[in-house]
Structure 1
């Protein structure tokens, strides 16, 4: 069993305006994100299933051409290989969970 203090993890800007701290297990990655208002992530796809929970703020998420406005407390499930993009309408905090783990997000 592990106990981790989130504030002690290294932080990295993974996209412009997106600062992340990550926890990785054998099968999953948990990425805590702090996003500046107006920051966007371009359309992309990956082989990982992604579950995104908006913890604070307002975030616009487009998945396979369908756009939704997420408010704090909402969760989005993004299937593997689905094209998706997003934009922070206000400053946001998100938790993104990926399965399998995102080796490219280990830092």
Structure 2
């Protein structure tokens, strides 16, 4: 068992406007994002299943060509190997859950 305080984790800016803190378990990675409004994430895919949890703000998410604007309290599930991209409409707070663990983010 492990207890973690997010404020004790180093924040990284992986893409301009996208700052993140990572928590890793044995099988999953959780990404706690703070995103500046009008920041873009280019299209990409990965072997991980991803669950996107919008905590605050509005985020335009494109999954396999389908575009949706998600708001706080909404969730999207992205299957493995599916191309997706996004753009923050406003400042956002998002939690992403990845399975299996994101080795590239360790």
Q: TM-score range by the shorter chain?
A: over 0.9
- Runs of 4+ aligned residues of structure 1 deviating over 6 Å after TM superposition are none
What TM-score results when the alignment is normalised by the length of structure 1? 0.97
Aligned CA-pair RMSD: 0.5
What TM-score results when the alignment is normalised by the length of structure 2? 0.98
Aligned equivalent of 2:58: 58
Aligned equivalent of 1:15: 15
Aligned equivalent of 2:49: 49
Deviations 1:11-57 (A, max 9, x none): 10011110000000111000000000000100000000000100000
Unaligned segments of structure 2, at least 5 residues: none
Aligned length: 106
User: In the aligned structure 1, how far is the partner of 2:103 from the partner of 2:49?
Assistant: 14
Unaligned segments of structure 1, at least 5 residues: none
